[in-house]
Amino acid sequence: MIIYILFMLKRVRLSWITLSLLCCGALLGVPTHAAGDAPTPGSEGDTLTKEDRRMAYLVYKLLDKNGKIKGANLKRGEKLFYQNCRGCHGVDGHRIDFTPNEQQSTYMGQRAREDMPTFWYQMNFGDETREGMEPFYDEIELDEMVDIAGYAQTLP
């Protein structure tokens, strides 16, 4: 359900931050959940999908109030980007234009800086509606993704 909403909002490119906050409200069940009250991951009461979890992790643990990734190791991020992303996106992220039908091109660095939730979702889960971008959820460790995301925000 939440993911469905995420997709709808993504289509119309509404603010991911607004929607993330909405999600967080839903995930927290607003004030009723005391700390020990959350369902055990994987149990019947645990209705979060892995997508929900990954997006919530981004919002709660990684983003500062300006939408920047906290605590990334940029040196390692650069290396991982080189190994995993450069082949298609180019060393500076400019080989693929994300908005080919618009007058203004959008590249990796800009997307990562201005819309990290979209970046994060795409890196983790790919994009069924577009060819070529595979999900990296099972390929790259979470802590490595943090470094890639932080590094991507430094690209031109």
- Select from 12-20, 41-49, 66-74, 116-124 the region that touches ligand HEC (CB under 6 A): 116-124
Distance CA 82, CA 70 (A): 21
The residue with its CB nearest to ligand HEC is: 132
Indicate which single residue of 9, 118, 135, 137 sits in contact with ligand HEC (rule: CB under 6 A).
118
Residue located via tokens 């009461």? 45
Q: Which residues, 130 to 149, sit near ligand HEC by CB under 6 A?
A: 130, 132-133, 136, 148
**Contact map string, positions 45 to 84, toward ligand HEC, x by CB under 6 A:** ---------------------------------------x
Report the distance separating Cα 97 and Cα 104, nearest Å: 9
Residue 68: CB atoms within 10 A of its CB come to 15
